[in-house]
Structure 1
Amino acid sequence: MKSSPIRTATGLVLVALTAFSGLPAQAAQLVRVGAAHFPPYTIRPENGADTGLLPELVEALNALQKEYQFVLVPTSIPRRFGDLKEGRTDMAIFENPEWGWKDIPHTTVDMGLEDAEIFVAQREEGRQQDYFSDLKGKRLALYSGYHYEFANFNADPKFLADTFKATLTYSHDSNLLMVLRGRADIALVTRSYLFDYLKRNEKVADKLLVSQRIDQVYHHYSILRPAAPITGEAFGKLLQELRDNGQMLKIFEPYKIALVPVPQH
């Protein structure tokens, strides 16, 4: 029976005590991966649903080897820092060291993955790419808590509302709907999420104008706590194996998440 990567605390203990067949005296080391709602990477992990790119990556990591058992532990965008620092999780994936980790002891592993934040508007006759070049006077729909380059990474809600007429939500779907219904002029959306959204909502594809302008590029890293059961070097090797066997491309290419070279040290 295929096991779910999202488990209760009791399930985590059981897994830790369970030895793999063929290795009766040696249990796999449990590696707890923080799972915060960040579609399409992780989708409502607190509901126990194995959906999103993170569960797919965890499944591929577990299928690759028997030394480590990766499991997902639900957390949240604000809480993930404390969970890693206090040892409730061992690792955060699809992160960047610039996103608030500087005061938390950690090791980084370059995942060789890049995504981007792009602008989306309603398609109208005569509207071209230059519509995105100047944001002044335009009503923006933004994701609460995100740090945007156009705003100098200032995520303060009042600043964004006052300076950019911004409405902040916790849903890319809601922001795109605001654009489609004329309640916002421009939404900023993660490129991978937009491609997933358009696959689920093919009828609106011709109603949206997608910018060639990129607000920022997300270069993804894994963040490991110093006492994690797996070292950064060992995890980097597992990612390289998934890259070599084609699993990384299979998981991420459909979402237009680019595989880029990882610097060799």
Structure 2
Amino acid sequence: MTSRVLAALVFLWMVPVEAAQLVRIGAAHFPPYTVRPENGADTGLLPQLVEALNRSQTDYQFVLVPTSIPRRFNDFKQGRVDMAIFENPEWGWKDVPHTTVDMGLEDAEIFVAQRLPERQQSYFADLRAKRLALFSGYHYAFAEFNADPKFLIGQFNATLTYSHDSNLQMVLRGRADVALVTRSYLSDYLLRNPQFAPQLLVSERVDQVYHHYALIRPQAPISSEAFGQLLGKLRDNGQLLEIFNPYQIELVSTHHH
């Protein structure tokens, strides 16, 4: 065997048959889905989902790229990330080219107030005269999905923060009348702080149902079909249920566009 043939064989042996395609997923602080990704902390549901995706196949290597709620659109447009997950095409994505994958997961945004003897569910019917604690950058249905801080402060007497914990604390201390949080976040919060459960009145009124989508850039290394199949596999083998069920995030049938 000539040295040239031998060298070629060694080279072939060293090159993996097919390197996994790198798929970068934007991670913006959106608890309990993603918690402070810029700190490199791998807490939250998104890192668990990525781990399950990477374990289940070898064609793609999913990695998280920290971004922020306001910055995520540009990071997506400029190709710093290939995918945005736990999104809704209605949240400001209209002018950004993408394909969608219905994740078949639902969460809800609910209202929370301090529990007082005279307070009933009717308390949540009219928000106009109430001090609201909201998460900055979020699109709320009661405000017609207008996330502009000036509008929210002017129209709804809103305090905007970057922490659901702070918003719930404001309600508990009487500094705000109503906070809006996701059902998944509230269930996580009460697991961490069970002593506050009796002090909070939780609305039956739902501001919006989050039907989660993954949005994929047209030039991404993975197609929406391929990603949909990977999610389907995790759904079928029970891993999606295992990740999301503890947070009261429901597995629902997917809507086909």
**What range is the shorter-chain TM-score in?**
over 0.9
Q: Of 85, 90, 93, which residue of structure 1 is paired with 2:82?
A: 90
Tell me by how many angstroms 1:159 deviates.
2.0
1:92-118 deviations in Å (ceiling 9; x for gaps): 110111111111111110001111110
Q: Of 223, 227, 231, which residue of structure 2 is paired with 1:231?
A: 223
Please give the alpha-carbon distance, in whole angstroms, between the structure 2 residues aligned to 1:156 and 1:51: 29
Q: 5+ unaligned residues in a row in structure 2: which ranges?
A: 1-12
Q: Of 133, 138, 141, which residue of structure 1 is paired with 2:133?
A: 141
How many residues are paired up?
245
Please give the alpha-carbon distance, in whole angstroms, between the structure 2 residues aligned to 1:84 and 1:185: 36
1:46-99 deviations in Å (ceiling 9; x for gaps): 111110000000000001001111010111111111111111111111011111
User: Structure 2 matches for 1:63-142, cutoff 5 A?
Assistant: 63-142=55-134
Counterpart of 2:242?
Answer: 250
User: Structure 2 matches for 1:178-257, cutoff 5 A?
Assistant: 178-257=170-249
Write the letter of the residue equivalent to 1:177: Q
Please give the alpha-carbon distance, in whole angstroms, between the structure 1 residues aligned to 2:91 and 2:180: 18
1:218-237 deviations in Å (ceiling 9; x for gaps): 11100101111111000000
Please give the alpha-carbon distance, in whole angstroms, between the structure 2 residues aligned to 1:95 and 1:123: 32
Q: 1:250 to 1:23 in 2, by over 3 A?
A: farther
Counterpart of 2:37?
Answer: 45
TM-score for the superposition, normalised by structure 2:
0.92
Please give the alpha-carbon distance, in whole angstroms, between the structure 1 residues aligned to 2:255 and 2:53: 21
- When Rg is computed on C-alpha atoms for both structures, the one with the higher figure is 2
% identity of equivalent residues: 76
Counterpart of 1:33?
Answer: 25
Tell me by how many angstroms 1:162 deviates.
2.2
Q: 5+ unaligned residues in a row in structure 1: which ranges?
A: 1-20
Write the letter of the residue equivalent to 1:70: F
Q: CA RMSD in A?
A: 1.5
SS in 2 for 1:58: helix
Runs of 4 or more off by more than 4 Å in structure 1?
none
Counterpart of 1:14?
Answer: none
